[in-house]
Amino acid sequence: MSGADRVDWRSLESTAQVSIPADPLLRVIGQEEAVTLARIAAKQRRHLLLVGPPGTGKSMIAQALALHLSRPTQEIRVVHNPENPERPLVEVKNADEVSSESKTKEFAEGELIEPKNAPVNVTERLGYRCRNCGAYSSPKERICPKCQKGKGADVAANNPFGDLMSGLFEQMNAAGLTGTAGKERVTTTRTRFGKEEVVVFERCGEMIRLLDQDALEKRRDWEKQSPRKVIVRLDRNPFVLATGSSETELLGDVRHDPYGGHAQLGTQPYDRVVPGAIHEAHEGVLFIDELPHLGHLQRFILTAMQERRFPISGRNPQSAGASVKVENVPCNFIFVGACNIQDLEQVLSPLRSRVCGNGYEVLVNTAMPDTEENRGRLVQFIAQEIVSDGRIPHADASAIEAIIKEARARAVKVDNINNALTLRLRELGGLIRAAGDLAMVENAPMITAAHIAKAVERSKSAEEQIKDRYGSYTKGLGTDISSAQKEKSPYYFWNETKDSMFH
């Protein structure tokens, strides 16, 4: 079921020959149970709680799960509510509606035409055509580049009495009939299919925008709609990381406005609504690492999971946003939580029971049996780490063997498991990178066993280094204290004199 090619690592010359699976879930090694459950969670939209020590692939699994979900199909918007601006309405549109709307909008934007294809009098009035010599040029240039005379367009455009009719139209436009006041435009009529209709020509850079009656009507309809703001876009990342989020980051907020949403001065409440991570994760994965750190906020996650919608309101009582609330904002996410074994009891129990009732809890592995097959998986991991780092060379056969040996040693040393390979792979990845850096410094074409040996030495924790030097950690501690008491630290003198200033 895994589908990954079995790595025949003994015949390899280097990790460059290892093929890395395209499926991100197949890149996770040694966590078969968790990966299987992640696949089910993606397919059936179930929740997941991953329990285990750091660096064993929990975040990796959560991310890979999100990549197995189909694309989001809904866009979430907040719409101005003219009857009660502090209660903006939520609007959910599916992909089809979004694209047909944008087509309508495009249509309402009219058609762009070359100035040469517009009526001569229109191009003259908009400043594209010189009234003296008939040459075309950019309306930005007041002087005709061909005949070096004023184009003569400015007179009409700047003086409303210069051209009585265009002045009149300009005023109509300014009155908001078309909503684009300020743009240079000419309104005329044309006869089409035996009927007279109004057409508008607008300046649009080097081109002219033509709006016929249909487009004008569409534009008017468009402007009649209540204003709205998209808070969760259709085109979004289905993986949302909410570790260490504050309450507002997690649940959304309504920004403060010093003018309190005053109709003219302020920003309307709907426009100040900010979605939370729970809303951004709609149709995707909400991943919370170190779940217990969320503390009391876990309760809100539980509510959001149950209701699949959660209101957005101003969360700071001192802010003008506090009086604003949008009800029923969708937040239908797959919840993936992660935590250490020790922290498990700090996970809110109703939240855990919710996960169990509609998903899975899984304890990740810290080591895997030292079998040929698992050694092959470890080699795949080595290749992945090297390729994803991108700055280090591949590992040769001697290095591969040395890393396998180290993985075996670590399973004993860290987790006290014999005949196994460690799955605390973030740290093992660190070792590979350190060895790779050594190879780079030496300009070596590949990582070798010697680089690994040196990196193992360097990767020792400070405690291990103390143990190596002084025989035991406590002995080392003793040395440190006594030496500090004998010789004064270089800061001793400075502290003394600083103190004495206050006596």
Ligand X SMILES: Nc1ncnc2c1ncn2[C@@H]1O[C@H](COP(=O)(O)OP(=O)(O)O)[C@@H](O)[C@H]1O
Contact set with ligand X (CB under 6 A): 27-31, 54-60, 338, 381, 385, 423, 425-426, 429
Torsional class of 52: left (φ above 0), alpha (ψ -120 to 50), beta (otherwise):
left
What is the rounded radius of gyration, in angstroms, for the C-alpha atoms of the chain?
34
Least Å distance, CB 58 to Mg ion, is: 5
Least Å distance, CB 294 to Mg ion, is: 15
| 489 phi and psi angles, rounded to 5 deg | -70, 155
Q: How far is 492 from 490, CA to CA, in rounded Å?
A: 5
- Which of ligand X, Mg ion, none does residue 139 bind to, with CB < 5 to 8 Å depending on kind? none
Taking the least distance from each CB to ligand X, the nearer of 34 and 326 is 34
Q: Is 123 near Mg ion (CB under 5 A)? A: no
Least Å distance, CB 424 to ligand X, is: 8
Residue nearest to Mg ion as judged by C-beta position: 59
Q: How far is 155 from 171, CA to CA, in rounded Å?
A: 16
Taking the least distance from each CB to ligand X, the nearer of 157 and 407 is 407
CA distance from start to end of the chain = 77
Least Å distance, CB 57 to ligand X, is: 3
Angle between helices 425-441 and 372-389 (to 10 degrees): 60
Least Å distance, CB 385 to ligand X, is: 6
Taking the least distance from each CB to ligand X, the nearer of 329 and 435 is 435
Least Å distance, CB 215 to ligand X, is: 52
Taking the least distance from each CB to Mg ion, the nearer of 46 and 58 is 58
Cα 76 from chain centroid (whole Å): 17
- Which of ligand X, Mg ion, none does residue 57 bind to, with CB < 5 to 8 Å depending on kind? ligand X
Q: Is 31 near Mg ion (CB under 5 A)? A: no
- Give residues with Cβ within 8 angstroms of 470, minimum separation 6: 476, 479
Least Å distance, CB 288 to ligand X, is: 12
- Which of ligand X, Mg ion, none does residue 374 bind to, with CB < 5 to 8 Å depending on kind? none
Contacts of the segment 211-217: beta carbons below 8 A, 24+ positions apart: 211/110, 211/111, 211/178, 212/110, 212/111, 214/107, 215/107, 215/108, 215/109, 215/110, 215/111, 216/178
Of 14, 31, 56, 59, which lies in the binding site for Mg ion, with binding defined by CB under 5 A? 59
Taking the least distance from each CB to Mg ion, the nearer of 55 and 275 is 55
Query: What tokens were used for 218?
Result: 């569409």
- Which of Mg ion, ligand X, none does residue 87 bind to, with CB < 5 to 8 Å depending on kind? none
Helix (H, G, I), strand (E, B) or coil at 103: helix
Taking the least distance from each CB to ligand X, the nearer of 59 and 298 is 59
For Mg ion, the binding residues in 287-316 under the rule CB under 5 A are 289
95 and 102 Cβ atoms separated by less than 8 Å: no
- Which of ligand X, Mg ion, none does residue 287 bind to, with CB < 5 to 8 Å depending on kind? none
- Give residues with Cβ within 8 angstroms of 144, minimum separation 6: 130, 132, 133, 135, 137, 150, 151
- Give residues with Cβ within 8 angstroms of 309, minimum separation 6: 328, 329, 330, 331, 332
Taking the least distance from each CB to ligand X, the nearer of 60 and 251 is 60
| 108 phi and psi angles, rounded to 5 deg | -65, -15
Taking the least distance from each CB to ligand X, the nearer of 37 and 338 is 338
Least Å distance, CB 44 to Mg ion, is: 24
Least Å distance, CB 65 to ligand X, is: 12
433 and 382 Cβ atoms separated by less than 8 Å: no
The residue whose two tokens read 């139209």 is 169
Q: Is 56 near Mg ion (CB under 5 A)? A: no
Taking the least distance from each CB to Mg ion, the nearer of 280 and 289 is 289
- Which of Mg ion, ligand X, none does residue 30 bind to, with CB < 5 to 8 Å depending on kind? ligand X
Q: Is 187 near Mg ion (CB under 5 A)? A: no
**Which residues sit at the interface with Mg ion, rule CB under 5 A?**
59, 289
